[in-house]
Amino acid sequence: MKKVLVLMGGTSEEREVSLKSGQAVVKALLERGYQVESLDFNPRVLSDIEKIKPDVVFIALHGKNGEDGTVQGYLDLLGIPYTGSGVAASAIGMDKILTKKILCYEGLPTAEFEIIHKRDFNSTTFAAKSLIERFGLPIVVKPPTQGSSVGTSIVRNENDLLKAIELALTFGDEVLLERFIAGTELTVAVIGNHEPIVLPIIEITAQNEYYDYESKYTPGMSAHIIPARIDNEARELIEKITIKAYLALKCRGFSRIDFILDQNGDPYILEVNTIPGMTATSLIPDAGRAAGISFPELVEKFLIMAEEE
Ligand SMILES: Nc1ncnc2c1ncn2[C@@H]1O[C@H](COP(=O)(O)OP(=O)(O)O)[C@@H](O)[C@H]1O
Ligand SMILES: [Mg+2]
């Protein structure tokens, strides 16, 4: 019987979500008959992984020190197979700025953006007006390496722009500013290694002004509509873009790519989530169910792909 180690928890802002993902994964793997151990992960328990000697590791960590390639690199050094993307795709997916740069090279659509670095930022000389002239309002301000909308602001008037940038800078050295795309929020789950397939596209509606932390994790604050209420032309276009982005970023196993489809029918990629939420009510399991794949089956697929070419 295969011994699977599930890594969960971790030290990022998304610790609580990861604990829930990990518990759901453990339950699913037990149901499928695996021998399962789990670790509430932090750098001090690294040596425990070697002691446990798992056949394969299921990484149910979100955010820094888990989704960003660090744990993946350690497991590569140990020669232990693990679920999901490798070092490069994980590191790039964790950084929305690097992701967007690659999407641009591939000619894939993403909202127009600007980058501010902490060392160049001076709140008294900052040219808010020219940025607003270029992007209009609202402007989206994000810390590029956070998830779950943590530190993100949708700025609706000039006076709030500085505060939003300063908030984003508390999470790291760079800030990503984006043109706000009004439209339908969609997310597309992808599974596979070399020949990935997309699961049914999910439309997300949120009670709050956007899909913020509260909407994501409070039952009833958002809804998943599957299949998304979009026409066939938009669906086919989004599926094509999704596969191209997945392969361009060298994702493996699975990922979930977030989009906004604007009123003209033009899709924009917001980001690529290499380890999306995996609780029984998360988006990727919902997409799986819509494709006739139960949550335990989906989790097992992820595990099997870890050891495939
Ligand atoms: N350019 C944008 N235009 C409109 N809404 C946006 C834009 N960027 C982000 N959002 C909103 O913020 C949410 C979180 O942004 P996202 O880039 O997916 O980061 P994360 O989910 O990692 O926090 C999105 O789901 C969406 O509701
Ligand atoms: Mg997102």
DSSP string, 170-185: TT-SEEEEEE---EEE
Q: Kindly report the protein residue whose alpha carbon is nearest to atom 17 of ligand 1.
A: 270
Q: Look at residues 179, 204, 219 and tell me which one is the last residue of a structural domain.
A: 179
Separation between Cα atoms, residue 237 and residue 134, nearest integer Å: 27
Same domain for 69 and 7: yes
Q: Which ligand is nearest to the CA of 269?
A: 1
CA distance 22 to 16: 10
Active site residue 215: no
**Same domain flag for 131 and 162:** yes
Residue 148 falls in the annotated catalytic set: yes
CB 306 within 8 Å of CB 81: yes
Q: Of 66, 69, 63, which is closest to residue 6 (Cα–Cα)?
A: 66
Is residue 299 within 8 A of residue 278, CB to CB? The reply is: yes
H or E segment at 203?
strand 202-206
For position 175, which CATH number holds? 3.30.1490.20
Distance from C-alpha of 58 to C-alpha of 7, rounded to nearest angstrom? 6
235 is catalytic: no
pTM: 0.96
pLDDT in tens, 192-233: 999 999 999 999 999 998 999 988 888 889 999 999 999 999
Spell out the residues 6+ positions from residue 120 whose beta carbon is closer than 8 angstroms to its own.
none
CATH number of the domain enclosing 63? 3.40.50.20
Q: Report the distance separating Cα 104 and Cα 50, nearest Å.
A: 40
Structural domain including 264 reads 92-110+183-306
Q: What is the three-class DSSP state of 206?
A: strand
Quick one: average pLDDT of 262-284? 94
pLDDT band of residue 103 (cuts 50, 70, 90) is: very high
CATH number at residue 212: 3.30.470.20
Q: Do 96 and 217 share a structural domain?
A: yes
Kindly give the distance from the C-alpha atom of residue 258 to the centroid of ligand 2, in angstroms, as a whole number. 6
- Which residue's alpha carbon is nearest to atom 24 within ligand 1? 211
CA distance 210 to 230: 19
Instruction: Supply the mean pLDDT for the chain.
Output: 95
In this structure, the answer to whether residues 28 and 76 fall within a common structural domain is yes
Please tell me the number of Cα atoms within 13 Å of 160 on its side-chain side.
Answer: 11
